[in-house]
Amino acid sequence: MSLTPLRRSAHASARDLRAYLPTCREELEARGWDAVDVLLINGDAYVDHPAFGAALIGRFLEGRGFRVGMLSQPRWDTPEDLRRLGTPRLMVGITAGNLDSMLNKLTAQKKVRAEDQYSPGGAPGLRPNRASIVYANLCRQAFPGVPIVLGGIEASLRRIAHYDYWSDAVRRSVLLDAKADLLIFGMGERPVWEVARRLREGEPIGAISDVRGTARVLRKGAWEALPKSRHVTDGKTLWLPSYEEVSTDKTAFAELSRAFQYETNPGNARPLLQPHGHEAVYLNPPAFPLETGEMDALYDLPFTRLPHWSYDRPVPAYETVKHSIVAMRGCFGGCTFCSITEHEGRVISSRSAESVLREVRALRRMGDFRGTITDVGGPTANMYQMACRDDSIERACRRLSCVHPEVCENLVTDHGPLLKLLESVREEPGVKKVYLASGVRYDLAERSPEFIRVLARHHTGGQLSVAPEHSSPEVLDKMKKPPVASYERFAEAFRCASDAAGRDQYLVPYFISGHPGSTLKDMVALALWLKARGMRPRQVQDFIPTPMSIAAAMYYTGLDPLTRTPVYTARDLHEKRLQTALLLYWDPAHHELAREALRRCGRGDLIGPKGLVPPAEGKGSLSVHVVKGGTRARSARRERGP
């Protein structure tokens, strides 16, 4: 584990000490400041790019007149490193980074990841486990009496009692374990601005109790008599099952998940309260998403679009997105395994075309830009400017997905605005290629043959990412994904469009193994579906239950919280490996596990020269054939192990 503080490069004196939010006393003094108003503690490396949440919030507050400092990946064995910029006047804001710190560290098999994409050089060990809690505890030691506010995706996904995959237990709200004053959930610009403004006006943090998108702790005597809501329009507080109930009763946990999911629309969501012993966590309704003008102003802020000058090694996540553009945020897909909805919300916030073009011109001024924009999108490539046909319908809607089980009749799925935007970006001087790397929602795309035509002709670099996830109707229903027939229609339309454009292009489909509802027999059926189509997937995700997602509730409880019916779940890590091996049926490294999986579900007939996988020995086995790129002995060792 490394606990090295931010390292200064040898040429630091040649850098513009005023270009970034201050990270050290030298940069603070270069601005003529003696202290900051808001200190941000960030679990990621400091990358001053709008794809990184801490930079977005920091620049947003700076643009409203606040003096903001940034401490990224500070030491966590002592509070001293947090005092680099002195004591902040108003508050400390804490984020674990762009990912939950445990998801960032551990795989689905609960093994430590070899690389941290959000650290310089991909170095692991530069942030603590459960970073929000650790940083908050350090801040209380470093800055007694200074308000502490949690934010970011880790805080969002752990704001109520939640199932934690890595400890295989239900944990309390992170707000209680961190002992912070407030927690901001969702996209934090509106809430953090209001909290910071009211603190600047002299209001004590304990009095800031009504800000949308915030949660706070209520002590004994302050919550027991709150009237309980019985109906969504009665204006009262919805009481959730207590931490004690959901940590011991899986049916209660399923009810918690169900109740929470129906209170995510800011147009009709009620305040929530969840008792934790003598205390309770109180959550105001979600903040309203940013309007187009507000999104434009946010992305027009003076980002350098670069990692901080102190880093002497690249930050891998930055290298992926440095020439990409976020055109929208939010997702109305409602996939049960995805945490985007719980954090960004279901309402799409889109930037104007003019704002996107201004960012394209900023990209062109970067020294390493060679004319290729790697992505123009967001959580999904093709939801730009899509919305409900009527604001009043959207505000009242209680659906958890606008596209499942079928596309809502009130959803405007016009791809026209996106097509016009992409055309404008393509025509910008200096732009040679514009790709869509966010992943295409094909059930929407198949409604627009023109979008598929343009996508194939202009915006695919040989391969296009899509996510059918599975072939089983029952499993796809648990995922809230469209039937596989929708994917097949899109695949054929894309192939035809690519042929018409004279382009040799392929789809790169993503699949999930081990998702709730998926049995070994379902995975065998999926493997046969893949083999029949000559598909050898490389993009395989072993399901990870992310905190607060519907699929995590299924995984933990064995119940579908929305239907209250039992659902099969592969909880054993070995069975999860077996499911993954079936997806990788074509890879000799997984044949031994695939054979075990086939025998377990009574499909030994698929082990053979013409089956799904070859036998371990004898006729048709790899051990008696020379494998391309290796010898007979090497292939035998690979099959049988060391």
Asked whether residue 74 falls in the same domain as residue 45, the answer is yes
Q: Are 510 and 541 in contact (CB under 8 A)?
A: yes
Cα first-last separation, the chain = 31
Phi-psi region of 91 (alpha: psi -120 to 50; beta: other; left: phi over 0): beta
CA 493 to chain centre: 29
3-state secondary structure of 505: coil
The two beta strands, 272-276 and 182-184, are: unpaired
Q: Give phi and psi for 516, each to the nearest 5.
A: -50, 135
Rounded to whole angstroms, how far apart are CA atoms 447 and 373? Answer: 26
3-state secondary structure of 414: coil
Domain final position from 532, 552, 571: 571
The torsion defined by the Cα of 202, 207, 212 and 217, in degrees rounded to 10, comes to 130
> Is there a domain that residue 276 lies in?
no
Q: Are 299 and 348 in contact (CB under 8 A)?
A: no
Rounded to whole angstroms, how far apart are CA atoms 423 and 370? Answer: 19
DSSP secondary structure of 444-477: HHTT-HHHHHHHHHHS-SSEEEEEEE-S-HHHHH
- Kind and range of the H or E run holding 38: strand 38-42
Distances (CA, A) of 335 to 481, 515, 545, 556: 6, 12, 13, 17
| Total domains present in the chain | 3
Asked whether residue 481 falls in the same domain as residue 354, the answer is yes
Domain final position from 540, 571, 602: 571
pLDDT for res 631: 37
For helices 449-458 and 484-500, the axis angle rounded to 10 degrees is: 50
> Is there a domain that residue 193 lies in?
yes
Q: Residue 405, preceding bond cis, omega within 30 degrees?
A: yes
Asked whether residue 329 falls in the same domain as residue 463, the answer is yes
Rounded to whole angstroms, how far apart are CA atoms 466 and 488? Answer: 11
| Alpha-helix runs per DSSP H in 333-398 | 340-344, 353-364, 391-396
The two beta strands, 279-283 and 272-276, are: antiparallel
Q: Are 254 and 221 in contact (CB under 8 A)?
A: no
pLDDT for res 623: 63
Q: pLDDT of 557-607, one tens digit each?
A: 999 999 999 999 999 999 999 999 999 999 999 999 999 999 999 999 999
Residues pairing with 162 in the sheet:
171
> Is there a domain that residue 231 lies in?
no
Asked whether residue 533 falls in the same domain as residue 612, the answer is no
- Kind and range of the H or E run holding 40: strand 38-42
Q: Which of 350, 338, 239 is nearest to 291 (CA)?
A: 350
Rounded to whole angstroms, how far apart are CA atoms 6 and 353? Answer: 38
- Would you tell me how many other CB atoms lie within 10 Å of the CB of residue 632? 13
pLDDT for res 89: 98
| Maximum distance among all Cα pairs of the chain, rounded to whole angstroms | 81
3-state secondary structure of 431: coil
3-state secondary structure of 589: helix
pLDDT for res 618: 80
Residues pairing with 411 in the sheet:
388
> Is there a domain that residue 266 lies in?
no
The two beta strands, 214-218 and 182-184, are: antiparallel
User: Which residues contact residue 25 at a Cβ distance below 8 angstroms, ignoring those fewer than 6 apart?
Assistant: 84, 85
Asked whether residue 448 falls in the same domain as residue 468, the answer is yes
Tally: H helices and E strands in the chain: 24, 26
Rounded to whole angstroms, how far apart are CA atoms 154 and 546? Answer: 10
Asked whether residue 486 falls in the same domain as residue 460, the answer is yes
Domain encompassing residue 624: 580-642
Q: What is the DSSP letter of 91?
A: E
The two beta strands, 182-184 and 148-151, are: parallel
CA 232 to chain centre: 29
> Is there a domain that residue 40 lies in?
yes
Q: pLDDT of 528-561, one tens digit each?
A: 999 999 999 887 899 999 999 999 999 999 999 9
- Kind and range of the H or E run holding 426: helix 416-426
DSSP secondary structure of 111-180: -B-S--TTSGGG-S-SS-TTHHHHHHHHHHHHSTT--EEEEHHHHHHTSSSEEETTTTEEE--HHHHHT-
> Is there a domain that residue 311 lies in?
no
Asked whether residue 377 falls in the same domain as residue 457, the answer is yes
- Kind and range of the H or E run holding 594: helix 591-600
- Would you tell me how many other CB atoms lie within 10 Å of the CB of residue 18? 10
Chain position carrying tokens 């209170």: 263
Asked whether residue 476 falls in the same domain as residue 607, the answer is no
pLDDT for res 638: 31
3-state secondary structure of 366: coil
3-state secondary structure of 214: strand
Domain at 124, CATH number: 3.40.50.280
Asked whether residue 157 falls in the same domain as residue 181, the answer is yes
Q: Which of 418, 260, 266 is nearest to 347 (CA)?
A: 266
User: Which residues contact residue 40 at a Cβ distance below 8 angstroms, ignoring those fewer than 6 apart?
Assistant: 21, 54, 57, 58, 68, 69, 70, 71, 92, 93, 94, 95
Tokens found for residue 21: 């939010």
Q: Which of 531, 547, 539, 543 is nearest to 594 (CA)?
A: 531
Average pLDDT along the chain, 642 residues, taken 10 residues at a time: 41 70 96 97 97 97 98 96 97 97 95 96 96 98 98 97 97 98 97 98 97 98 96 94 98 98 96 98 97 97 96 96 96 92 90 97 92 95 96 95 96 98 97 93 96 97 92 97 96 97 94 97 97 89 95 98 96 96 95 97 94 87 53 34 30
For helices 353-364 and 416-426, the axis angle rounded to 10 degrees is: 30
Tokens found for residue 230: 């019985």
Asked whether residue 542 falls in the same domain as residue 640, the answer is no
Asked whether residue 501 falls in the same domain as residue 630, the answer is no
Asked whether residue 531 falls in the same domain as residue 585, the answer is no
Q: What is the DSSP letter of 77?
A: S
3-state secondary structure of 319: helix
Rounded to whole angstroms, how far apart are CA atoms 301 and 322? Answer: 16
Domain final position from 151, 184, 216: 216
Tokens found for residue 25: 């006393």
> Is there a domain that residue 312 lies in?
no
> Is there a domain that residue 120 lies in?
yes
